[in-house]
Amino acid sequence: MPLLDRSEYYDLIRTTNWTPSYVSEDELYPEEMSGSRGIPMEKWESFDEPYKVAYGEYVATQREKDSGAYSVKAALERANFVDTADPGWISILKAHYGAISVPEYAAMTGEARMARFSKAPGNRNMAVFGMMDETRHGQIQLYFAHEHTRRSRQWDWAHKAMHANEWGALAARHFFDDMMMTRDAIAVSLMLTFAFETGFTNMQFLGLAADAAEAGDHTFANLISSVQTDEARHAQQGGPNLKILIENGRKDEAQKMIDVAFWRSWKLFSVLTGPMMDYYTPLESREQSFKEFMQEWIIGQFERQITDLGLDTPWYWDEFIRALDETHHGMHLGVWYWRPTVWWNPAAGVTPEDRDWLEEKYPGWNDTWGNLWDVIIENLVEGRPELTGPATLPMICNMSNIPIVGTPSNGWNVKDYPLVHNGRLYHFGSEPDRWVFEQDPERYQGHMNFIDRFLAGWIQPMDLMGGLQYMGLAPGEIGDDAHNYEWVSRYTPDVAGTAAG
């Protein structure tokens, strides 16, 4: 046990900006890795992390958290929750583990960049713990998914997804590579820890934990709450760096990094978390709608944080709020329609009761999205399943790498945001997506999205089977309707006819 209280020694041990004598400061902290933006070393020493921890107490706390999560898992294994849970909930678990587990390891690299190259000693200290956090998150989420691989190969995508060219995995990798793998230490602290973790992982981990508890999945609820308590700590590295940037005349650069990272995070969550919360989670277990979670966590909390720190809300804020009624419904319909191309089984989530709920949460849903689902339901009821699956590919945004969607039917507003750059035609799903590209075209211009790869002949044969093969989706892994279309029986031919008007 330490003889001194942490507060008595912490400031001293954190003071590690020693004066180098064998190498220059620039050699010790290369600008492309450190990202100090011309702000002198001593200014970074004012970094004061709001959540302080020393190694001994970190280890004790983490051990306790791990013990808790693993104990709950062990105790509930025999209850076979996974074998009896709603298939929509199982799809959430498979999608979550595939999209999140391995990027946790990648996030360790982002933390390591801050731990080694940040000029702020407090940032370096916190990031060491952040590295260990992310390693723990990678390990624990891979381990929790692994026990289920005997149930279905789809569970193996917890590990496989980020090593495959599946389109959703491409989107996640493009995002995470941009935010945390290819940025300097200060940018990582703003874009990963502040914009993504403060803003959005709360949604995935606390919002979903609430749904998990309601659904009776205490193992998952406990696991992701355990992860989020780490996030809540290491997400606070961005705030003090933001303060230093603003105090030293770098507000515009900071604002741009936040604006880029926030929009990119939103788009990823619109395809990952939106469908989970509003369609996959069984109706009786839904705590709030995706939009309500977003309003609480993002508009309520994140907006206040950025303005308290002296930043402005992103320039596209009105468009972001508008899109809360739109984007994830399109992503859900797209994922369900192109269901063979994902590693989980999408739940349609459109029984009559589901639709009442959607209409209540998103007034006008039946007059827009519902009209398209009516045609799909009719095809299923009347024995034309071949019309309810893919015959071509959706156009993919060259920034978010997810389909370009808009509101259909009576609210039809689908729009492409094209840009010709160096003779190549790029497509974007929104004005902010195009704006992100325009901020740094050299950074993004070479990337080939799934459509670019298809048209370049990388995918052979050029059909669905060739596409699935390219994505690494083998039989037994490709997605299909989560409930094996049982929900369609709720629509007798009469009911479908009525719904069709």
Among 3, 4, 425, 456, which residue interacts with another protein (rule: CB under 8 A)?
425
Q: Which is nearer to another protein, 238 or 394 (CB)?
A: 394
Roughly what angle, to the nearest 10 degrees, separates helices 87-117 and 167-176?
Answer: 30
Rounded CA separation 464/446 (Å): 25
> To the nearest whole angstrom, how small is the minimum distance from the Cβ of residue 407 to another protein?
7
Name 426's bridge partners: 419
Report, in Å, the least distance between residue 500 CB and another protein. Answer: 8
Token pair of 118, please? 């940040």
Tokens describing residue 192:
């990963």
Of 7, 24, 392, 422, the residue at the interface with another protein (CB under 8 A) is 392
Q: How far apart are CA 43 and CA 320, in angstroms?
A: 35
223 lines the binding site for another protein (CB under 8 A): no
Kindly identify the residues of this chain, within the stretch 311-370, that bind another protein according to CB under 8 A.
Answer: 330, 333-334, 337, 369
**Nearer CB in complex with another protein: 57/382:** 382
Residue 455 C-beta: closest distance to another protein, Å: 6
Segment interacting with another protein (CB under 8 A) among 13-21, 174-182, 393-401, 430-438? 393-401
Instruction: Name residue, tokens 């599946």.
Output: 166
Neighbours of 311 (CB within 10 A): 19
Q: Which helix (H) or strand (E) holds 420?
A: strand 419-421
Distance of CA 363 to the CA centre of its chain: 26
Q: Which stretch binds another protein (CB under 8 A): 11-19, 78-86, 387-395, 472-480?
A: 387-395
Other Cβ atoms less than 10 A from the Cβ of 148: the count is: 18
Q: Which is nearer to another protein, 210 or 375 (CB)?
A: 375
**Coil, strand or helix: which one is 456?**
coil
Q: Please, which residue, 116 or 421, has the CB nearer to another protein?
A: 421
Residue holding tokens 């849903």? Answer: 365
Q: Rounded to whole angstroms, how far apart are CA atoms 282 and 284?
A: 6
> Least separation, in Å, of the C-beta of 213 and another protein?
33
The number of residues that bind another protein (CB under 8 A) is 36
Among 451, 459, 468, 473, binds another protein (CB under 8 A): 451
CA–CA separation, 105 vs 86, rounded Å?
30
Q: What number of other Cβ atoms are within 10 A of residue 302's Cβ?
A: 21
Stretch (H or E) spanning 419 = strand 419-421
When binding is defined by CB under 8 A, the residue of 394, 432, 467, 479 that contacts another protein is: 394
Q: Which is nearer to another protein, 294 or 397 (CB)?
A: 397
Nearer to another protein among residue 13 and residue 414 (C-beta): 414
Could you list the residues that contact another protein (CB under 8 A)? 330, 333-334, 337, 369, 371-372, 375-376, 379, 387-388, 391-395, 403-409, 412, 414-416, 418, 420, 425, 427, 451, 454-455, 500
